[in-house]
Amino acid sequence: MEAFDYIAPATLDEAVAVLKQHGERARVLAGGTDIIIQVREGRRSLGVMLDVKKIPEATALVHNNGGGLAIGAAVPCAQIYQDAEIARRYPALIDSAALIGGIQIQSRASLGGNLCNSSPAADSIPTLIALGATCQIAGPSGRRALPVEEFCTAPGRNALAPDELLVSLTIPAPQAHSGAAFERFIPRNEMDIAVCNAAASVTLSDDGSAFKSARIAVGAVAPTPLFVKEAGDALAGKPVNDEVISQAARIASEAARPITDMRGSAAQRKHLAGVLTRRVIDTAVERARGA
């Protein structure tokens, strides 16, 4: 591995100053489960590794009084799925966090790193989109917020400027009678990259018989994870039944623009986008009904 400097600032201001000074030559280190491998394999070259794990805002998991959640960008997956309040209120986050790699990876890997690595197949991004999460970003000119669905711009690329970093992900409080779920398809049981993945969040009427609103996202079927707004809109105001859910699944499948590669063909991925969308809507409905 090439030599680089390691800096671990204690504040966001210091971190931003390092990024401003070094620009593209500096890279943020969260869990290191992507970046260390990329540097070791020569896929990335850098002068400074900026460890953000000593910055309180990047490592805090905060349940706000208003009911929302702020997940520090460097909080590891294991901390997320061991949090009882997250399990109760945001089970879809656990669906994602509990299958990113194995236990060793989960004790390092963060959702912030998963998002900033910006793989089209990343397993937390559809869930974050479905939950309506927002990126809290810091840079030399202050803070800004960006919906997760606008963050990834191309495979491995995102909306961060070289002197910006992701501080946290904020997720609104779940509404009454709401539920969400995530699933992926991989050719073996664990430790593989998704051939396709999908997440849905739904809010139901008080009696659980109709959809009030929904958000659906699919991954590994386009250059970036896709927010399929039309699929969620197709559910809003409709009764919860097979026909309505199949229509939303069809829309998600049609929105998919996959490639064929060693993991699966474009046709298989398009089919999977529909199948997984249907399944995550079904699970989200069960959770919204309190199952």
Rule CB under 6 A: say whether 235 interacts with ligand FAD: no
In the bound complex, which residue of the shown chain has the CB atom lying closest to ligand FAD?
A: 113
Give min distance, CB of 190 to ligand FAD, in A.
8
Binding characters for ligand FAD, 101-120, by CB under 6 A (x = yes):
x---x--xxx-xxx-xx---
Give min distance, CB of 286 to ligand FAD, in A.
24
- Considering the complex, state which of residue 146 and residue 236 has its C-beta at the smaller distance from ligand FAD: 146
Under the phi-then-psi rule, with left for phi > 0, alpha for psi from -120 to 50, and beta for the rest, what region is 48? beta
Output DSSP code: residue 124. Answer: S
CA separation, residue 129 to residues 46, 146, 208 (Å):
30, 11, 23
Instruction: Name 57's Cβ contacts closer than 8 Å, sequence gap at least 6.
Output: 12, 72, 167, 168
- Considering the complex, state which of residue 7 and residue 244 has its C-beta at the smaller distance from ligand FAD: 7
Q: How far apart are CA 101 and CA 87, in angstroms?
A: 19
Q: Which two structure tokens, joined as six digits, stand for 83?
A: 């949090």
Instruction: Name 194's Cβ contacts closer than 8 Å, sequence gap at least 6.
Output: 121, 123, 184, 185, 186, 219, 220
Tell me the pairing of strands 69-72 and 165-171.
antiparallel
Q: Which two structure tokens, joined as six digits, stand for 138?
A: 């810091």
CB contact at 8 A, 215 and 200: yes
Rule CB under 6 A: say whether 198 interacts with ligand FAD: no
Of 29, 93, 217, 245, the one binding ligand FAD (CB under 6 A) is 29
Give min distance, CB of 259 to ligand FAD, in A.
18
Secondary structure class of 54 (helix, strand, coil): coil
- Considering the complex, state which of residue 34 and residue 149 has its C-beta at the smaller distance from ligand FAD: 34
Q: How far apart are CA 150 and CA 157, in angstroms?
A: 12
Binding characters for ligand FAD, 42-81, by CB under 6 A (x = yes):
----------x--------------------x--------
Give min distance, CB of 198 to ligand FAD, in A.
14
- Considering the complex, state which of residue 168 and residue 283 has its C-beta at the smaller distance from ligand FAD: 168
Chain residues binding ligand FAD by CB under 6 A are: 27-35, 37, 52, 73, 99-101, 105, 108-110, 112-114, 116-117, 122-123, 160, 165-166, 191
